[in-house]
């Protein structure tokens, strides 16, 4: 099944689509800095465009693929409407954070295309679908009227309880927190009770040498906070490493 992911937050969609076995035809985004994320995610993308450039892609009639996007701004909503009309995809799946107010959500979804069936809004917890964070998102689904789904469009994967450890089993370590001031490691300090609410489930803190800021550390046997709500998208995790035993 072919997939096109659109928006500055499209890389997660592209990674998920590849895991489902889909072919990612296009990733469209507007922030130039997003190009370096392709290397981080190691996604074999065939074509990489700005959102505006996608309107110039050759397109004849209806496109029998899946359109994936994340909506958080009015511009992203406008892009969805524009490309929906342009591509006429078989399926559209869009997500927006559950923290979005109802009024703002209605503005992000202001339309009901006449040639599509729109399903009711679906609220999903990341942890309930095999994820490793406390994030929760709203999803809506559109499909073209009168068309049958090919078997390739039924993208399902086994779901099982996951923790941060399972997501980090094949990663290389950074600085491993260590007891005391052990050379080569960082000391795991007591949690900062005055920290942000999102850090309440942290098991401790670390301070990088030469820096004043303390960073929360999360247990690899638990789950991460909702990363989409964090100002700093990097988190520390105390977990088993493929390079060294648990500290």
Whole-angstrom CA distances from 151 to 22, 118, 148, 177, 234 are: 12, 20, 9, 47, 37
- How many Cβ atoms are within 10 Å of 224's Cβ, its own excluded? 23
The answer, yes or no, to whether residue 110 has pLDDT greater than 70, is: no
The structure's pTM equals 0.71
CATH architecture of the domain covering 2-153: 3-Layer(aba) Sandwich (3.40)
Residue 181 pLDDT level (bands cut at 50, 70, 90): very low
Q: Which of 31-35, 180-184, 205-209, 223-227 has the lowest mean pLDDT?
A: 180-184
Residue 67 pLDDT level (bands cut at 50, 70, 90): very high
Provide CATH 3.40.50.150 ranges for the chain. Answer: 2-153
Within 8-167, strands assigned E span 23-28, 47-49, 63-70, 89-97, 116-118, 122-125, 136-144
Predicted confidence (pLDDT) per residue in 213-244, tens digit: 778 889 888 888 888 777 776 778 888 766 55
- Neighbouring residues of 45: CB distance < 8 A, sequence distance ≥ 6: 14, 24, 26, 27, 38
């Amino acid at each position: 099944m072919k997939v096109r992911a659109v928006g500055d937050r499209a890389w997660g969609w592209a990674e998920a689509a590849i895991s489902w076995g889909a072919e990612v035809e296009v990733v469209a985004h507007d922030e130039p800095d997003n190009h370096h994320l392709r290397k981080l995610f190691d996604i074999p993308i065939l074509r990489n465009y700005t959102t505006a450039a996608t309107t110039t892609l050759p397109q004849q009639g209806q496109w029998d693929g899946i359109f994936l996007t994340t909506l958080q701004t009015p511009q992203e909503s406008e892009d969805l409407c524009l490309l929906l009309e342009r591509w006429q995809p078989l399926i559209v799946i869009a997500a927006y954070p559950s923290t979005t107010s109802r009024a703002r959500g209605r503005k992000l979804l202001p339309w009901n295309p006449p040639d599509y069936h729109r399903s009711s809004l679906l609220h999903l917890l990341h942890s309930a679908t095999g994820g490793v964070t406390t994030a929760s998102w709203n999803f809506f689904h559109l499909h073209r009227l009168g068309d049958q789904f090919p078997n390739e469009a039924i993208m399902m994967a086994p779901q099982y309880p996951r923790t941060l450890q399972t997501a980090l089993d094949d990663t290389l370590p950074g600085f491993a927190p260590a007891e005391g001031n052990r050379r080569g490691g960082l000391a795991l300090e007591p949690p900062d009770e005055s920290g942000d609410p999102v850090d309440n489930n942290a098991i401790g803190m670390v301070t990088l040498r030469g820096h004043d800021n303390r960073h929360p550390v999360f247990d690899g046997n638990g789950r991460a906070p909702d990363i989409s709500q964090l100002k700093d998208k990097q988190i520390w995790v105390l977990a088993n490493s493929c390079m060294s035993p648990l500290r």
